[in-house]
Amino acid sequence: MPDYVFEPGPRPTIPVQGTDKLFPVRRVYCVGRNYLDHIVEMGNDPNREEPFFFQKPSDAIVPLGGKVPYPPLTKNFHHEVEYVLAIGKEGFEIPVADAGSHVFGVALGIDLTRRDLQFEARDGGRPWEVGKAFDHAGPCSAIKPLNGGPVPKSAAIKLSVNGAVKQNGDIRMMIWNADEIVAQLSRSYRLMPGDVIFTGTPAGVGPLQRGDKIDASLEGIAELHVEIV
Ligand code: MN
C-alpha cells in the first residue's frame, strides 16, 4: 500500500442497472450547446459549430440523485437535463464508426448550473468553472449497460419541477449525436474507462428553489429524482 499522509477517500461511482456492480468515475466531461432550441434560448449563434467541452469534478456526481443542497453564491440556480454516456474502453482520435464500441452504457444526468456565475464568467472572459463545477453539480441515474449494442440515438428526454414539465425533447435532436461526441472529444483527450460525458441539454432550462422536486426521465433508459434542500 502507498504511504499516504491521509486516507485518499473513496472513488466516485455510479451504480449499474441490473447488477450490484459500480461504475468507477474518472472524469466528467460536458458538452456545451448541443440542441438548437437551447442555443436559441441562450441567445447564441444557431449555426452548427464544432462542439465544445468543459468538465465537472468527478466528485460532483450525485449517484441516483436524491437530496441536493442549494449551492452557495448563486441567485439563479438552473437545471439542464442531459443524456449521459459512460466510457468503458480507452481511445484517442476514435473514428465515428468505432465510437459506439467505447461506450459501456448510458444514463440520465442533470448538469446543475449557477447561471448567474456562469454568465459573469463568460462575459468577463473567464473560465466557466464557478458556474458548472461546484459540489453536487452532477446528479446521475444508474447506468444502463449496452452490452456491446448500439448507442441509442433516439429517446424522449424530459424534466419536470414540482410536477410541471419544463424540458421536453428527444435525444435525436442533438446537433452532434453520441458517436460524434465521443469522436470529437477523443481528439482533445485520451478517453479512459470511467469517463462520463454529459451531452448537452434541450430547451427549457430554468431556475430551482429550495424544496423543489425534480423528476427526469430518458425513455427506456432511466429515471432520476432530485430534491433541492
Ligand atoms: Mn449542460
**How remote is the CA of residue 30 from the centroid of ligand 1, in Å?**
6
Say what percent of the chain tops pLDDT 90.
89
Give 25's contacts (C-beta < 8 A, 6+ positions apart).
Answer: 11, 12, 13, 14, 58, 61, 194, 196
pLDDT at position 55 over 90: yes
**Residue 12, C-alpha cell as written in the block:** 466516485
pLDDT grade, residue 171 (50/70/90)? Answer: very high
pLDDT at 51 over 90: no
pLDDT bucket at 49, cuts 50 / 70 / 90: confident
CA distance 185 to 194: 15
Average pLDDT over residues 28-51: 84
How far does the centroid of ligand 1 lie from the alpha carbon of residue 178, in Å?
Answer: 15
Q: What is the pLDDT of residue 47?
A: 73
Domain positions in the chain are 13-228
- Asked if CATH classification 3.90.850.10 holds for the domain at 13-228, the reply, yes or no, is yes
Q: What angle is formed at CA 92 by the lines to CA 89 and CA 97, rounded to 5 degrees?
A: 75
How many CB atoms are closer than 10 A to CB 108? 28
Reported pTM:
0.96
Neighbours of ion ligand 1 (CB under 5 A): 80, 111, 201
Mean pLDDT of the chain: 95
| Measured CA distances, 77 to 73, 81, 207 (Å) | 10, 13, 5
Instruction: Specify the pLDDT at position 1.
Output: 79
| CA 110 to ligand 1 centroid distance, Å | 8
Cα distance between residue 166 and residue 81, in whole Å? 10
Summarize the confidence of residues 141-164 as an average pLDDT. Answer: 97
